[in-house]
């Protein structure tokens, strides 16, 4: 068949904010859950016509809260001054973390080599 290119037109259906509004609902509202860095969970209701923002100030602690429970927005750090000691401590814990990771990787590798994975 010649003359292709008559593909389905890319009309987008259903591209809207999550949480579909059902017609005939008594209260046309939608509930959006926000998560903050303190693991607070805040359900905020919006009118269905309203576009819910990506972030919301947590009513419990005031930190910015986001839609992703696993990835809450980081609290804005108000660190007036970082001491040298703080840097050293940070470095050290980083090194420890790296050591632990290295150990884990080697353990994993040695297990893979021998072919038996023990849970
Ligand atoms: Zn909070």
Of 34, 82, 30, 92, give the one whose Cα is nearest residue 58: 34
Label residues 95-111 b or e (16+ Cβ within 10 Å = b).
eeeeeeeeeeeeeeeee
Q: Are 52 and 32 in contact (CB under 8 A)?
A: yes
Ligand 1 center to 36 CA (angstroms): 5
Ligand 1 center to 77 CA (angstroms): 15
Ligand 1 center to 61 CA (angstroms): 4
Cut 0.85: pTM above it: no
Ligand 1 center to 38 CA (angstroms): 5
Ligand 1 center to 49 CA (angstroms): 26
Ligand 1 center to 99 CA (angstroms): 33
- The string of pLDDT tens digits covering residues 82-102 is 677 777 777 777 888 888 889
Which range (8-17, 53-62, 68-77) has the least confidence?
A: 8-17
- The string of pLDDT tens digits covering residues 25-47 is 566 899 999 999 999 999 999 99
If you average pLDDT over each of 24-28, 69-73, 110-114, which comes out highest? 69-73
Percentage of residues in the chain having pLDDT higher than 70: 67
């Amino acid at each position: 068949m010649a003359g292709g290119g008559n593909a389905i037109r890319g009309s987008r259906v259903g591209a809207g904010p999550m949480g579909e509004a059902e017609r005939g609902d008594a209260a046309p509202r939608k509930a959006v859950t926000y998560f903050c860095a303190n693991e607070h969970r805040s359900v905020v209701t919006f009118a269905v016509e309203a576009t819910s923002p990506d972030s919301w100030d947590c009513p419990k602690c005031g930190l910015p809260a986001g839609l992703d429970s696993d990835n809450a927005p980081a609290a804005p750090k108000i660190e007036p001054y970082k001491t040298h000691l703080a840097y050293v401590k940070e470095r050290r814990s980083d090194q420890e973390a790296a050591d632990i990771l290295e150990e884990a990787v080697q353990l994993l590798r040695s297990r893979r080599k021998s072919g038996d994975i023990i849970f």
